[in-house]
Amino acid sequence: MHQAEPNRDETAQLPPDDVIGVLLRQHARIRELFDAVRDGTVEARRASFLELRALLAVHETAEEMIVRPTVKHIGGEEEAAARNSEEKEANKVLADLEKLEFGSEQFTSMLAGFEQSVKEHAAHEEREEFPSLRRLCTPEELGRLGRRLLAVESAAPTHPHPATAGSPAAQWTLGPFAALLDRVRDAIRKN
């Protein structure tokens, strides 16, 4: 188990709308999807990558729009800026991965480095951001943040958009338009 990876029993005991619990469950799913992208049939691996791409896109957007402003407000301006910077870089890499031939040597190599950076990013959040949120926010505030995070995710872009990544203001301004285009694009590709 990764040093920062939370205890599953503790995570399961958090209320379903607790923002930290929501994010920890998503971090666990992201780790599972990275494993699934490496194992199985080509079709199953490709489907896992598409799910991973969409989950990372909505997860990072919602963190930037909901979590980072709260972290910044409670005194973690440097922490919020560092995590937003990491997410901006991750968004660029994810966009590059999306352009590569799935399973190619270049894709596989880039994916391995990307996985490592995503895991390090999640570890920073779990070690630095989440304890601050837990300490400085009431359970009611954490629930409200969780509900807002889930609402944003339901309408967030499903593909990486490096031009808006890392900027909560850009996410709020351009994100809804990007999300609409992404969801139309996803629907067309399914048919």
pLDDT tens-place string over residues 93-146:
998 999 999 989 999 999 999 999 999 999 999 998 999 999 999 999 999 999
Confidence at residue 158, expressed as pLDDT on a 0 to 100 scale: 77
Q: Which residue has the higher pLDDT, 29 or 158?
A: 29
Question: Average pLDDT for residues 149-158, to the nearest whole number?
Answer: 86
Render pLDDT for 159-189 as a digit per residue (tens, 0 to 9): 766 655 555 555 555 555 455 455 555 655 6
Q: Which helix (H) or strand (E) holds 72?
A: helix 68-73
Q: At residue 190, does pLDDT exceed 50?
A: yes
Comparing CA positions, the residue from 143, 168, 136 lying closest to residue 62 is: 168
Confidence at residue 8, expressed as pLDDT on a 0 to 100 scale: 61
pTM over 0.85: no
Instruction: Compute the C-alpha angle 65/31/187, nearest 5°.
Output: 60
Q: How far apart are CA 58 and CA 154, in angstroms?
A: 8
Q: Which residue has the higher pLDDT, 152 or 4?
A: 152
Confidence at residue 177, expressed as pLDDT on a 0 to 100 scale: 46
Q: Which residue has the higher pLDDT, 118 or 155?
A: 118
Comparing CA positions, the residue from 154, 176, 180 lying closest to residue 58 is: 154
Q: Which two tokens stand for residue 112?
A: 């391995």
Q: At residue 2, does pLDDT exceed 50?
A: no
Render pLDDT for 18-68 as a digit per residue (tens, 0 to 9): 999 999 999 999 999 999 999 889 999 999 999 999 999 999 989 988 999
